[in-house]
Amino acid sequence: MRSGKLAFNVNLAGIPSLTGTLSSDAERQALVDALTRRFGARGFVANLQVDTSLRSADWLAYIDELLSLMALPRAEVGIDGGRVELGGAAANASLGWQKRLHDLFGPSWVIGQFSSDKAVDLATQAFLSAMARMLDTGGACVGPDVARVLNLQVVDFAASSGHIPSSAKENLSESAQLLKACSDDDHPVALDISAFSDNVGDAQANLQLSQKRAESVRDFLIGEGVKPNLLRARGYGATSPVASNATAGGRFANRRIEFAVAKQEAG
């Protein structure tokens, strides 16, 4: 059973903004009470949800130490399961927070900084393995299955860029070969390509950039031989986040490309 999770960042004035999901109203209230005692009723911003399918959050046992970290300007922290992601000032080695949390939480917890390169490498391994399994089973042209596997890859665009990064080209080429093979076998798969951003910067600029990124992926696949009529592209900016924008790992997850079986347009 999954545990409750929490993410927060702290502004220059030392005011924390939190998002999280806890297992009960009582657990949520206990966190709010602790925050109020430390920061005052108006000294923090919290968006806390309740999901009764979760088990109790283990990290609540260490709330006093976490409250100290929540007062550190420019700190970024994400807690999910047995992992703690440190960013911003919280990752400053001279402040010693990684060691302090290691000593506090114990060896069963993984405490460190987010690495986009590692995340891309892990996603690539998962994508290539899933692609191989799908091809081996002979069910490679079932639309939802194709979209599910294509969504395992990561297109990690550079900041403010709409150009396909070199780290994504091989995976997208593999995706194109699969889509071409389906068409050649008279089982074409039509896909909607959606691009999303994090919430950093101007909302309208993010919307425009996400549109450019969706179109770049579509253009790349077409350049690799996929029929243009099978692909539609649209950018959605910072809407529909899948993670908290409070941490680098969350923002990375939100800056994403999604593939879905194309919806039929009303005629």
Q: Are residues 74 and 206 in the same domain?
A: no
> Where a domain ends, among 113, 131, 149?
113
Question: Has residue 144 got a pLDDT over 90?
Answer: yes
Q: Could you give the CA distance from residue 188 to residue 225 in angstroms, rounded to a whole number?
A: 13
Q: Could you give the CA distance from residue 140 to residue 264 in angstroms, rounded to a whole number?
A: 21
CATH at residue 148: 3.30.1330.60
Which pLDDT band holds residue 134 (cuts at 50, 70, 90)? confident
Q: Are residues 85 and 194 in the same domain?
A: no
Q: Are residues 106 and 122 in the same domain?
A: no
Q: Give the predicted TM-score (pTM) of the model.
A: 0.91
Residue 260 pairs in a beta bridge with 192
Counting the structural domains of the chain, the total is 2
**What spatial distance separates the first Cα and last Cα of the chain, rounded to whole Å?**
45
In a domain, 16, yes or no: yes
Report the pLDDT averaged over residues 237-245.
Answer: 95
Supply the pLDDT for residue 266. Answer: 42
Q: Are residues 136 and 250 in the same domain?
A: yes
User: Residue 13 burial by CB count (10 A; 0-12/13-18/19+): exposed, middle or buried?
Assistant: exposed
Q: Are residues 72 and 128 in the same domain?
A: no
In a domain, 266, yes or no: no
Q: Are residues 135 and 160 in the same domain?
A: yes
Supply the pLDDT for residue 54. Answer: 94
Supply the pLDDT for residue 264. Answer: 67
Residue numbers of the domain that contains 148: 116-261
* 191-196 sheet: strands from edge to edge: 231-235, 191-196, 256-261
Q: Are residues 168 and 148 in the same domain?
A: yes
The single residue listed with the structure tokens 């919280």 is 90
CATH at residue 48: 3.40.1520.20
